[in-house]
Structure 1
């Protein structure tokens, strides 16, 4: 396969991922947090423990904005800062128990929507999707 053709298939695929992600996550965010704060919580959930600079880089937001939003989430008791045992200057962010509850509720809604989308897939289709996701994860999204 031509690598240029592969690239354009990848671009179309990632655009579809963004669209479907929007559909799956629509209205799962609790009213008590902003969309940015939800994104921060989601990022922490899948990457924890994570540093503030890793969050800033991944979500494309400045460090001052990251710090401000993290502070707000700490005040809402949704995340916790944990000091590195070897380097006390380094801090990691983890979800608090309340943060875990909020994200788990959101993920349950997302999972329900996802399962609805794949309800007619055969066992072979599900296995093929799983293999495709494994390949993408190991070769592209590492």
Structure 2
């Protein structure tokens, strides 16, 4: 297959992923969080521990803006800083127990919406979806 055709397919796929992500995560964030803060919390939840620079890169935010948002999340008691035992100069960021509880609740809603989206898929199709996602993860999103 021509790489340009494959590229167009990946662009269409990633666009669809963003659209579906917006649909299934709509209205799941706590009223006390901004949309940016929720996205940061979501990233931390699936990648913890993370560094401030990793959050900045992933969210396409400047370091000062990332620091400010992280300070706000810490003040709300939703995130904790942990010192790397191998290099005490490095700090990782994790969810606090209350932050983890908040994200667990949000993910329950997202999981239910996802289950609804794939409710028409039979078991064989679900296995195919899982295999396709594994392949994408190994070959494209590594």
- TM-score normalised by structure 2 residue count: 0.98
Any residues of structure 2 matched to 1:113-128 within 5 Å, and which?
Answer: 113-128=113-128
Q: Does 1:10 find its partner at 2:7?
A: no
- Runs of 5+ consecutive residues of structure 2 not aligned to the other structure: none
SS at match of 2:50: coil
Report the CA distance between 1:2 and its aligned residue. Answer: 1.4
2:95 corresponds in structure 1 to 95
| Cα deviation digits, residues 38-90 of structure 1 (max 9, x gap) | 01100101110110111101110011111111111111000000011122221
2:30 corresponds in structure 1 to 30
For the residues of structure 1 that align with 2:8 and 2:118, how far apart are their CA atoms? Answer: 25
RMSD value over aligned CA atoms?
Answer: 0.7
Any residues of structure 2 matched to 1:76-91 within 5 Å, and which?
Answer: 76-91=76-91
Report the CA distance between 1:135 and its aligned residue. Answer: 0.4
- TM-score normalised by structure 1 residue count: 0.98
Any residues of structure 2 matched to 1:40-55 within 5 Å, and which?
Answer: 40-55=40-55
For the residues of structure 1 that align with 2:134 and 2:19, how far apart are their CA atoms? Answer: 21
For the residues of structure 2 that align with 1:138 and 1:45, how far apart are their CA atoms? Answer: 21
Q: Which runs of 4+ in 1 moved over 6 A?
A: none
For the residues of structure 1 that align with 2:11 and 2:70, how far apart are their CA atoms? Answer: 32
For the residues of structure 2 that align with 1:103 and 1:138, how far apart are their CA atoms? Answer: 26
